[in-house]
């Protein structure tokens, strides 16, 4: 009788903690200061305050996408520059959020703004009050974005940790 060869045991498959089987999402968050002391925040039904956000479509820059987040100004939103990029690995998808900041608005301009969600109203709050009212992740993004603007930097974050900080040339 001829011995039967035993097949080699299959090697264990190595996988990362998550597979990105869903397409990534790219979004934009807008920091719209009013003067030097306040921020514009949408107020959703139920009273929740949020950072103004939207989706960046294929072929669109975050600065262009910001124009659709807050509307109502005749010349469009005066976007100054991008101040931060935050990447988060969710269970099956990567989410990248670009934070852009506008030039300071007047109170009159801020009151003319409408948020992309028509159910939400737009409020102007003192910066400290606005930051305290935001959810933790949005609070971190807003605070780091304002700091990056103040020091002339661009911040890159991954899963809530700062990966690098770059100096930005003044235009």
Residue ranges of domains in the chain: 25-161
Dihedral sign, Cα of residue 136, residue 161, residue 158, residue 166: positive
Class of the CATH domain delimited by 25-161? alpha beta
Residues 39 and 31: beta-carbon distance below 8 Å: yes
Give me the residues paired with residue 79 across strands: 102
Give the pTM.
0.83
Residues 162 and 147: beta-carbon distance below 8 Å: no
What is residue 162's predicted lDDT score, i.e. its pLDDT? 87
Nearest to 83 by CA among 158, 40, 141, 160: 141
Residues 19 and 98: beta-carbon distance below 8 Å: no
What is residue 61's predicted lDDT score, i.e. its pLDDT? 95
Please list the rounded mean pLDDT of every run of 10 residues in the chain (171 residues): 62 58 89 95 93 94 95 94 92 91 95 93 95 92 92 91 82 55
């Amino acid at each position: 009788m001829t011995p039967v060869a035993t097949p080699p045991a299959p090697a264990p498959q190595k996988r990362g903690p998550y597979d990105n089987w869903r397409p990534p999402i790219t979004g934009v968050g807008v920091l719209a200061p009013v003067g030097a002391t306040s921020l514009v925040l949408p107020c959703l039904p139920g009273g929740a305050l949020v950072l103004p956000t939207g989706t960046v479509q294929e072929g669109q820059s975050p600065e262009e996408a910001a124009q659709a987040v807050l509307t109502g100004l005749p010349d469009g939103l005066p976007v100054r520059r991008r101040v931060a990029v935050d990447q988060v690995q969710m269970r099956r998808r990567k989410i990248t959020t670009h934070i852009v900041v506008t030039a300071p608005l007047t109170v009159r301009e801020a009151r003319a703004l409408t948020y992309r969600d028509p159910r939400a109203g737009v409020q102007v709050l003192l910066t400290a009050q606005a930051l305290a009212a935001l959810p933790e992740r949005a609070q971190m993004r807003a605070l780091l974005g304002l700091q990056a603007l103040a020091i002339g930097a661009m911040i890159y974050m991954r899963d809530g940790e700062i990966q690098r900080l770059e100096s930005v040339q003044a235009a």
